[in-house]
Structure 1
Amino acid sequence: MSDPNTPQVPDVPKVPGVPPVSPPSAPAPPPSYGAPIPPPAGGSATPPPPSYGAPANPYESNPYTGTTAKKPPMFSILAMIAGIIGVIGSPIAILPFVGGFLGLLFPVAGVVLGFLGKKREPTARGFWLTGIISGFVGIGLMLLSFGLWALIFAAGSSYDYTY
């Protein structure tokens, strides 16, 4: 039996102990510069980081994905530039023969390059569409300019300057 003078303590269930922790190991030294990075667990190796110096050429193959970079849409960009120059330059053509024929060159180039860009570079829709539309507007303005000059020369030759 138990002694009546000692207090009764209820039975406490035994709690499992925490497993012992191993002491920390020394950290691994960092890899040397340019050394390949070890693959992660269950993954593939990643390419080394780019070295310092000249920037990589964006038109060569991409070392991270293995795909080639997209070429810039040159026909479409040139179409847009030529079309805008044609719209700006067609009303400015003061001399009907020199400025007029030079001013007609840019809108026509904008239309031709725009249709080439539409065929070869369908993803650059904004560029080639701007080149086509502004090229046709420039051609229209240039034809109006030619008609205006024809009216001015025709009216100027019909006056009688005799007194």
Structure 2
Amino acid sequence: MTTVTDTATQAPFAEPNPYAAPAAETNGFSIASLVLGIVSIVASSTFFVPVAGLVLGILALKREPASRTMAIWGIVLNAVMLAGTVLFGILAIVFGLAMLPFAFL
């Protein structure tokens, strides 16, 4: 015995699956920017750590609006440490050039 049912009268499964995991927002760029900002405080004499953190923070502002605070803190920390590194490098070059005449005494 076969039964024929009309598929147009059957309601599709419209209820969401209660056991499905919710889609998690990724905030990896902002976390990486903040971590590199904190690391750049310890490793401030390097040039690449603050630059990488600054780039990741700017990318996080555009791609991850939910984690805006972490991205801004990462940008601020990395920018301050990058400016300090550049300023220290310029001062070291100026001091080295000023002391150059006394190197041959």
Higher relative contact order (CA 8 A, sep 6+): 2
Runs of 4+ in 1 over 2 A off after TM superposition: 62-69
CA distance in 2, matches of 1:138, 1:154: 24
Q: Contact between 1:87 and 1:141, CA under 8 Å: does it hold in 2?
A: no
Q: Does 2:102 correspond to 1:159?
A: yes
Residue identity opposite 1:89 in structure 2 = A
CA distance in 1, matches of 2:103, 2:32: 49
Q: Does 2:12 correspond to 1:69?
A: no
Per-residue Cα deviation, 1:53-84 (whole angstroms, up to 9, x for no partner): xxxxxxxxx95364623133000000111122
Tell me the residue number matched to 2:83: 140
Tell me the residue number matched to 2:39: 85
Tell me the residue number matched to 2:12: none
Q: Contact between 1:78 and 1:110, CA under 8 Å: does it hold in 2?
A: yes
Residues 160 and 146 (structure 1), Cα distance of their counterparts in 2 relative to 1, 3 Å cut: closer
Tell me the residue number matched to 2:57: 114
Give 1:151 deviation, angstroms. Answer: 2.3
Kindly tell me the number of residue pairs found equivalent between the two proteins.
90
Cα-Cα RMSD: 2.2
CA distance in 1, matches of 2:50, 2:59: 14
CA distance in 1, matches of 2:17, 2:41: 43
Match of 1:150 among 86, 93, 97: 93
Bigger Rg, which one: 1
CA distance in 2, matches of 1:160, 1:131: 42
CA distance in 2, matches of 1:158, 1:85: 38
Residues 160 and 111 (structure 1), Cα distance of their counterparts in 2 relative to 1, 3 Å cut: closer
Q: Is there any run of 5+ residues in structure 2 with no aligned partner, and where? A: 1-15
Give 1:152 deviation, angstroms. Answer: 2.6
Higher helix share: 2
